[in-house]
């Protein structure tokens, strides 16, 4: 069974959108997919899809802000 996580965020400085988009757009690997969606000038959603819940519990870098 696949597992997904949706992270909503607000930017205090909307001018950094280009930097975020450069590092965190769509990523697809074996057992992992990540999508970045800009919902307004200073808000967005990161949607992650994992092969299973175990992998999701081990991959916390985006959730913790270690990697965008």
pLDDT higher for 53 or 65? 53
The distance of Cα 7 from the centroid of its chain, to the nearest Å, equals 7
Task: Give the pLDDT band of residue 51 (cuts 50, 70, 90).
Answer: very high
Q: Provide the residue ranges of all domains of the chain, joining segments of one domain with +.
A: 3-63
Give CA separation, 61 vs 36, 57, 64, 67, in Å: 15, 10, 5, 5
Closest CA to 51 of 27, 32, 24: 32
- The answer to whether the pTM exceeds 0.75 is yes
Helix H or strand E encompassing 18? helix 17-24
Comparing 16-25, 27-36, 43-52, the range with the smallest average pLDDT is 16-25
pLDDT digits (tens, 9 = 90+) for 5-19: 999 999 999 898 888
- CA dihedral 43→18→24→41, nearest 10 degrees, is 10
């Amino acid at each position: 069974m696949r597992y997904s996580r949706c992270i909503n965020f607000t930017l205090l400085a909307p001018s950094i959108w280009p930097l975020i988009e450069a590092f965190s757009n769509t990523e697809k690997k074996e057992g992992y997919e990540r999508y970045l969606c800009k919902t307004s000038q200073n808000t967005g959603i990161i949607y992650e899809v994992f092969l299973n819940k175990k992998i999701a519990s081990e991959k916390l870098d985006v959730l913790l802000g270690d990697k965008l």
